[in-house]
Amino acid sequence: MNRMKLPPPLDWPIAGIGPDADVPPELRVTRDNWRTYPYSRWAFQHARELVPSRVIRRSSTPRELEEAWRDLSGISFPDAEGRLVRWDEFLERTYTDAFLVLHRGALVYEHYANGMTAETPHLLFSITKSFFGLLAEILIVQGVLDPDSAVEQHVPELGASGFAGCTVRQILDMTDGVAFDENYADPDAEVHRYSAAYWTPQAGFGGVFEALKGLTRRAAPPGAQFRYRTPVADVLGWILLRATGQSLTKLLGDRIWRPAGCADNAQILLDTAGHEIAGAGLNATARDLARVALMLLDGGWVDDRLVIPPVALDNIAIGGDRGLFDASGFPTRPGGSYRSQWWVNHEGYGSLSALGVFGQRLYLEPGSGLAVIRTGSHPVASNSFTDVIHANAFDAIREALA
């Protein structure tokens, strides 16, 4: 799997790192270091303490999770280099904080590490994008949002940016063509400067909104190219806010979180201007992600209540332009496409994935009734680094449960 030499997946407290090794993590983690390993091991479970946030209130009638426990400790599978990996080794090598498996409506496996518990919210990074993509599809079905409308129709301030002339659908599927470098491994990539509008007050005073207006270069005409870029999700967030006149916190709480029966409060982090971060800001417990996953696997139903129009889910599951996806360069995601801020796999059982950097995964396989929720604090940002071992793990889990 990994030819890159990685540090060991240490738990807090981490001894022997610097002169302050015995100082508790909450005194050692700062807004300057919290996204780097090993400080991230603590910080991703405490991001709302480091960055301002807004609360998404829990449901007053939480959904009970049916439990049918299965032992997965005996399974093994190959890593990306063909070496057989034991289950416990897999959890450790991928820097797991939480790992939950749902099968046919029941929670069958639950594991926590690195101090995380069932009550601990974890920063989900770009899983956030998929929640707002789902919200957009709901609003489209309800006639609130026109997928063929132009960005500047909703957000006139972006009329001089590269997003002008792009449709809502192109924003949803990231085929807008605006030039932006999201190579996390390159310290000079544009994504690191852009993220200052998220996390660095002294550098990003105007927040995401001002940063978006500064993205004026084009890499391709609208609709001609798929490229995954975080700012596009932030454009979607502003479109949703303007189209509904409601905050993203209220939209997510009213239309997904509470209807799904989520039992704990979630949080959305705020950028340097005090606006909700649509591209990466959601914090939630793994069990509440499981409740959302069950709702999606059940076709939008919770008990006898239809929460999400089935056509909204169908519009995601059909996937995006596979030709554009193949040309975009994701060799670890063959047979895939990108639609409404979700990663779609068209092979085998078919699946939908919401992915966040540093190891956040929400994996749905409607054909087999399988769902996997995992959070982590991997030293490597890009999930492409562990795509193969996770795909092999999911295959092994499916076989074991069958």
Q: Is the pLDDT of residue 201 over 90?
A: no
Least confident of 44-48, 135-139, 201-205: 201-205
Cα–Cα distance measured from residue 36 to residue 32, given in angstroms and rounded to the nearest whole number: 9
> Is the peptide bond prior to 121 cis by the omega test (within 30 degrees of 0)?
no
Q: Is the pLDDT of residue 19 over 60?
A: no
pLDDT of residue 25: 77
Per-residue pLDDT band at 14 (split at 50, 70, 90)? low
More confident position, 369 or 206: 369
The arithmetic mean of pLDDT across residues 162-178, rounded, is 98
Q: Is residue 13 very low, low, confident or very high in pLDDT (cuts 50, 70, 90)? A: low
Cβ within 8 Å of residue 268, ≥6 positions away:
53, 54, 56, 128, 248, 249, 252, 276, 277, 281, 282, 283
Average pLDDT estimate for 76-101? 97
Q: Mean pLDDT over residues 289-310, rounded?
A: 97
What is the Cα Rg of the chain in Å? 20
The amino acid sitting at 176 is D
Please tell me which residue in 126, 195, 337, 368 is annotated as part of the active site.
Answer: 126
Residues 362-385 have a mean pLDDT of 97
Pick from 14, 295, 253: which is nearest to 135 by CA?
Answer: 253
pLDDT at site 3:
55
pLDDT of residue 16: 46
Mean per-residue pLDDT for 155-173? 98
Q: What is the pTM of this model?
A: 0.95
- Domain residue ranges of the chain, discontinuous segments joined by +: 59-401
Nearest Cα neighbor of 233 from 141, 134, 314 is 134
pLDDT of residue 12: 57
Q: Residue 224 above 90 pLDDT?
A: yes
> 59-401 — its CATH code?
3.40.710.10
Q: Is 130 a catalytic residue?
A: no
